């Protein structure tokens, strides 16, 4: 009997008509109990309504092609035709810190000279307001007389090293002509190497008297250094000063300003020099080290 009653209950349930959408009663109050036997059709489903959007292609108000959307700032107006694109021959070069340091330490290179019809190398430089030509071929053996020794302190304070041992011997042929061109090279190198404050290290050690520059040569160098280089020179350090170099400086006092003389400092050893400036990039000749 129980089985027959159960079958009859299922038959009555299936024979009932399905309710229409409008016949479902909903309530705003949340249910206080969970109806386990509730059918899927009796569950309330929430519908999200999308806002109205106007995607027409005309330029009416609110359209994506209207003037409000098409206006752009002047700095965003990009002309594609003006943009340069690399061709197949272009390449990117990555410069490391060591390469950058090497460029800073390097003097004007060999690629800047011009060869005349006779095969002689020349370099044209501007010293002051005058154009000068340097005979690079005749001074080629003496270019190490001036080098870049790195930087000191905060900022780009250059260290210029002048090694007197690399000067020509006064007994060599065309000594005056060589010194004339060498002095132009030294002055032009200072113009290129010095941007702000700088210091000159004069290495006097291992230099025989016959290689010491004369007073007239030193006087001309001093007079041709422009005011900017004189003002930015913070110190002139003379390493291993000899009696002769002290005498030359004493005789030179009449044409050298008092302010410049106050910038001169003597050091007697390389250890003492290393306490004043960083020696990492200062090129000390082997004869001076010995």
pLDDT in tens, 240-257: 999 988 998 888 888 888
User: 254-270: buried (b, 16+ CB within 10 Å) or exposed (e) per residue?
Assistant: eeeeeeeeeeeebbeeb
163 touches 286 (CB < 8 A): no
Q: pLDDT, tens digit, for every residue of 181-226?
A: 999 999 998 888 888 899 999 999 999 999 988 888 888 888 888 8
**16 is a domain residue:** no
235 touches 273 (CB < 8 A): no
Helix (H), strand (E) at residue 159: strand 157-163
**179 is a domain residue:** yes
Inter-residue long-range contacts of 172-176, CB under 8 Å, 24+ positions, other chains counted = 174/138
**185 is a domain residue:** yes
Q: Domain range spanning residue 243?
A: 115-288
**Alpha-carbon distances, residue 150 vs 102, 200, 227, 246 (angstroms):** 10, 11, 23, 27
Which of 209, 186, 104, 194 has its CA nearest to residue 139?
186
**259 is a domain residue:** yes
Lowest-confidence segment of 61-70, 116-125, 214-223, 242-251 by average pLDDT: 61-70
Is the confidence at residue 108, as pLDDT, over 60? Answer: no
Q: Please tell me the predicted confidence (pLDDT) of residue 1.
A: 54
Domain containing residue 247: CATH number: 3.40.525.10
Q: pLDDT, tens digit, for every residue of 24-54?
A: 444 445 555 444 444 444 445 555 555 555 5
Q: Considering the chain, what is the average pLDDT of its residues?
A: 74
Q: What is the pTM of this model?
A: 0.61
Indicate the pairing of strand 157-163 with strand 146-152.
Answer: antiparallel
**77 is a domain residue:** no
**62 is a domain residue:** no
**Alpha-carbon distances, residue 98 vs 60, 76, 101, 151 (angstroms):** 62, 39, 5, 15
**157 is a domain residue:** yes
**125 is a domain residue:** yes
Q: Please tell me the predicted confidence (pLDDT) of residue 45.
A: 53
* Domains held by the chain: number: 1
Q: Please tell me the predicted confidence (pLDDT) of residue 268.
A: 95
Is the confidence at residue 123, as pLDDT, over 90? Answer: yes
């Amino acid at each position: 009997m129980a089985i027959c009653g159960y079958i009859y209950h299922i038959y009555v349930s299936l024979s009932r008509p399905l309710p229409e959408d409008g016949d479902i009663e909903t309530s705003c109050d949340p249910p206080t109990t969970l109806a386990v036997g509730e059918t899927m059709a009796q569950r309330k489903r929430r519908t999200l309504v999308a806002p109205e959007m106007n995607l027409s292609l005309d330029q009416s108000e609110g359209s994506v092609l209207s003037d409000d959307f098409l206006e752009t700032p002047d700095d965003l107006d990009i002309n594609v035709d003006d943009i340069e694109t690399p061709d197949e021959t272009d390449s990117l070069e990555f410069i490391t810190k060591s390469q950058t340091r090497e460029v800073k330490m390097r003097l004007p290179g060999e690629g800047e000279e011009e060869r005349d019809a006779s095969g002689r190398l020349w370099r044209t430089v501007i010293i002051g307001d005058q154009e000068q030509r340097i005979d690079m071929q005749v001074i080629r053996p003496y270019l190490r007389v001036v080098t870049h020794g790195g930087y000191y302190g905060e900022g780009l304070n250059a260290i210029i090293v002048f090694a007197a041992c690399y000067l020509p011997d006064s007994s060599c042929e065309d000594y005056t002509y060589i010194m004339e061109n060498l002095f132009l090279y030294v002055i032009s190198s200072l113009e290129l190497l010095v941007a702000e404050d700088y210091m000159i290290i004069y290495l006097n050690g291992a230099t025989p008297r016959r290689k010491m520059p004369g007073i007239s040569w030193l006087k001309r160098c001093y007079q041709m250094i422009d005011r900017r280089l004189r003002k930015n020179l913070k110190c002139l350090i003379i390493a291993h000063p000899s009696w002769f170099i002290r005498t030359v400086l004493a005789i030179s006092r009449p044409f050298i300003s008092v302010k410049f003389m106050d910038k001169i400092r003597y050091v007697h050893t390389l250890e003492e020099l290393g306490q004043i400036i960083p020696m990492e990039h200062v090129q000390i000749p082997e004869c001076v080290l010995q």
